[in-house]
């Protein structure tokens, strides 16, 4: 049995594009995800995508009612940048959509739920992709900064927790580093330039928020992978360090410390992927670090030293410094293809404490996706998702141990509040406390995990015992 601190956040998360649907969306308001869905619908599981999603635009009051019933303390979602404006150059706000955000915030607060808003959860307007190649452009950084300023003006009186991006490394890694998602352009230099421009955009949004004197805080949701070396050999340890450098520290260091690691700069210059920043922009990054961090954490990353010489005829990729290691005997979520290793929560907490000091942070995503959940329905039609309860318990146990050990972790937010659309995966794997039927009405029902989650919110006790060795 573990006591959960009274001020420890127990919430849940989702995003605009994964829930809203296109109800009321106007011509020209496609996001990157909307455009990808239109271009490659065949890669989305059973054709489901953002077009209907969970129909949150019409159902948000019902969902907030469920949140209140579960006694949720915090809810994190995003503003859909692509739907927030009707003119992305002159920043003309779509008052219909802005009113929806207003209503959602007000209803959350009335239900005793603290809203946490993210300015970009993959909802980059497709217009900015078409006109400026997205985050390749410094102009897009300025348009985003003005968007942030307008969002703060509209909602900063009620929303006290802001995030600039959710998982800012993901889109360019999938699209331009690995080229596994539309538009399938392999361009490592663009990958690093997008990384940099999102760091700069964050710093400029932080500067704006602080200069306006809002009574809240602003940070970024990162998805660092806690990386483990295969062995203690210097070669495997170096592989671990390089993975950490390119995928974790590339955002951690400038956002928290205010500067990039020298080794990363040297490697970017050596391999022709340097982003060539202006001195005044580096100064902005240095002077406007984040107030706090969101950390999305699902699984570990295991690496070893590469066994084969890098093919010099291929573009630079950080994989030249590491090779993925497949740990024998690991526990797996076979629905998702991800390793289950709950101690990753404790180890990430230690990593943050040792490398980034007292920066406040919280887990903004962690959860269990399972396919074919209808197989776990009882006679009353409720999903008995004991596997999700176990997954959350295991991870929350290690997170609370980290808090006992001095981690500056403020809470845990489950992904996700409801089942929702995920890129390509669509509704294949379900993550929610609330089940979404794929009928026309997107009918909702509470899973077993919902009442269990309410019990730990109310009682502030996690009933958990470390599994004993079988002798």
Residue with tokens 């210059």: 269
Catalytic residue among 120, 123, 149, 365: 365
Buried b (16+ CB within 10 A) or exposed e, 325-360: beeeeeeebebbebbbbbebbbbbbebbbeebeebe
Residue with tokens 């489901």: 48
Token pair in block for residue 268: 């970017």
Cβ contact 184:130 at 8 Å: no
Calpha distance 299→224 (Å, rounded): 10
- Please enumerate in sequence order all residues whose Cβ is within 8 A of that of 42, keeping only pairs 6 or more positions apart, or say none: none
Catalytic residue among 149, 167, 225, 373: 167
Task: State the distance between the two ends of the chain, measured CA to CA, in whole angstroms.
Answer: 23
Residue with tokens 């990363």: 264
Specify the pairing of strand 429-430 against strand 370-371.
antiparallel
278-281 long-range Cβ contacts below 8 angstroms, 24+ apart: 281/200
Calpha distance 432→68 (Å, rounded): 15
Instruction: Name beta bridge partners: 292.
Output: 219
CA dihedral in degrees (39, 41, 43, 44; nearest 10)? 130
Please indicate whether residue 365 is annotated as part of the active site: yes
Name the helix (H) or strand (E) containing 344.
helix 344-356
Please indicate whether residue 279 is annotated as part of the active site: no
If phi > 0 it is left, if psi is from -120 to 50 it is alpha, else beta; for residue 399 that is alpha
Calpha distance 14→432 (Å, rounded): 10
N residues, the chain: 471
Cβ contact 412:9 at 8 Å: yes
Nearest to 116 by CA among 76, 60, 172: 76
Instruction: Name beta bridge partners: 162.
Output: 117, 218
CA 156 to mean position of chain CA atoms: 21
Calpha distance 128→382 (Å, rounded): 43
Calpha distance 294→167 (Å, rounded): 9
Residues annotated as catalytic (active site), given as ranges: 167, 365
């Amino acid at each position: 049995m573990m006591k959960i601190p009274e001020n420890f956040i127990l919430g849940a998360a989702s995003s605009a594009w994964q829930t809203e649907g296109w109800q009321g969306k106007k011509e020209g308001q496609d996001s990157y995800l909307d455009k990808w869905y239109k271009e490659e619908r065949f890669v989305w599981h059973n054709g489901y995508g953002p077009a209907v999603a969970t129909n949150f635009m019409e159902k948000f009051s019902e969902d907030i009612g469920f949140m209140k019933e579960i006694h949720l303390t915090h809810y994190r979602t995003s503003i859909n940048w692509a739907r927030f404006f009707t003119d992305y150059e002159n920043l003309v706000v779509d008052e219909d959509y802005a009113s929806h955000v207003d209503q959602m915030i007000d209803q959350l607060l009335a239900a005793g739920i603290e809203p946490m808003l993210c300015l970009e959860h993959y909802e980059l307007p497709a217009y900015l992709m078409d006109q400026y190649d997205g985050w390749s452009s410094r102009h897009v950084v300025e348009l985003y900064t003005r968007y942030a300023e307008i969002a703060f003006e509209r909602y900063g009186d009620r929303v006290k927790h802001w995030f600039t991006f959710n998982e800012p490394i993901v889109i360019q890694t999938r699209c331009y580093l690995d080229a596994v998602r539309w538009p399938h352009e392999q361009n490592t230099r663009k990958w690093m330039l997008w990384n940099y421009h999102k760091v700069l955009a964050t710093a400029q949004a932080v500067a704006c928020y602080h200069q306006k004197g809002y009574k809240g805080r602003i940070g970024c949701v990162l998805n660092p992978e806690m990386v483990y070396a295969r062995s203690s050999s210097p070669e495997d340890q170096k592989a671990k360090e390089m993975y950490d450098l390119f995928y974790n520290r590339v955002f951690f260091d400038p956002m928290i410390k205010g500067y990039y690691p020298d080794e990363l700069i040297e490697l970017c210059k050596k391999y022709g992927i340097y982003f060539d920043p202006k001195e005044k922009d580096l100064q902005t990054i240095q002077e406007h670090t984040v107030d706090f961090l969101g950390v999305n954490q699902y699984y570990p990353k295991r690496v070893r030293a590469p066994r084969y010489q890098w093919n010099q005829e291929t573009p630079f990729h950080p994989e030249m410094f590491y090779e993925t290691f497949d740990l024998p005997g690991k526990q797996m979520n076979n629905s998702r293809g991800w390793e289950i290793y709950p101690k990753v929560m404790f180890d990430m907490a230690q990593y943050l404490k040792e490398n980034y000091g007292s920066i406040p942070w919280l887990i903004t995503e962690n959860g269990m996706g399972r396919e074919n959940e209808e197989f776990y329905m009882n006679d009353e039609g409720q999903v008995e998702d004991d596997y999700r309860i176990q997954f959350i318990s295991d991870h929350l146990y290690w997170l609370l141990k980290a808090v006992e050990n001095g981690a500056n972790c403020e809470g845990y937010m489950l992904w996700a509040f409801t089942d929702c659309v995920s890129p390509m995966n669509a509704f294949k794997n379900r993550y929610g406390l609330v089940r979404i039927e794929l009928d026309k009405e997107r009918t909702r029902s509470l899973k077993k995990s919902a009442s269990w989650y309410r019990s730990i919110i109310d009682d502030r006790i996690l009933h958990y015992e470390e599994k004993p060795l079988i002798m």
